[in-house]
Homo-oligomer: A and B are copies of this chain.
Amino acid sequence: MPRRADTIPPPAETRVSDAGLRVFIGYHMRRAMAALQADLADTLAPFGLRMIPFSVLVLIVDNPGLRPSQIAEALAIERSNLVSLIDGLAREGLVVRQPVAGDRRAHALSATARGAALCARARAAVAQHDARMSAGLDETTRTRLIGFLNRVENSDGRG
């Protein structure tokens, strides 16, 4: 028998269940990643950095003379999205673009002293953040976890 109009009786204290999604590892990964990213954002905020710019800065510091297209390939980012990213780092005086001797198209990226210093401090903070996140993870489990993540990462396209 239809209730008056199309109203629905109030749910009797029903607790919402996401069990149908919890069966998927991807769901757990997504939730964990969201929490991790929020924590990382808080960690990097004092340095005026966000996740991606931090990654780019580390790459430049660790690989002086790097070119944008190489960063794009390493981080799986489109080249076009790198320009504003590098613009931002350059605006802050953290990195500089220099011409390359043999190729007038390319830009060699390197960190300034200020960029290197900031990167070192941010790197230490992120290391603490990462250790906090993976606290209570014994070495073998950690290794196995990274192995799993690498396998997922490299299952390009189809499996």
Contacts and interface: CB of A to CB of B under 8 A. Distances in A.
B16 A152 contact: no
Interface string A33-51: 1111101101000000001
**Quick one: copies of this chain in the complex?**
2
Interface stretch (A20-28, A78-86, A87-95): A20-28
Contacts of A133: 25-26, 152, 155, 159
A100 to B, nearest CB: 6
A130 B23 CA distance: 9
Interface residues of A, number: 84
Contacts of A30: 33, 37, 51
A146 B32 CA distance: 10
B155 A8 contact: no
Contacts of A156: 35
B63 A149 contact: no
Residue in A30, A34, A37, A142 with the greatest tally of chain B CB atoms within 10 Å: A30
Given A98-B8, A99-B6, A151 B127 contact: no
Contact of A62 (B10, B19, B130, B132): B19
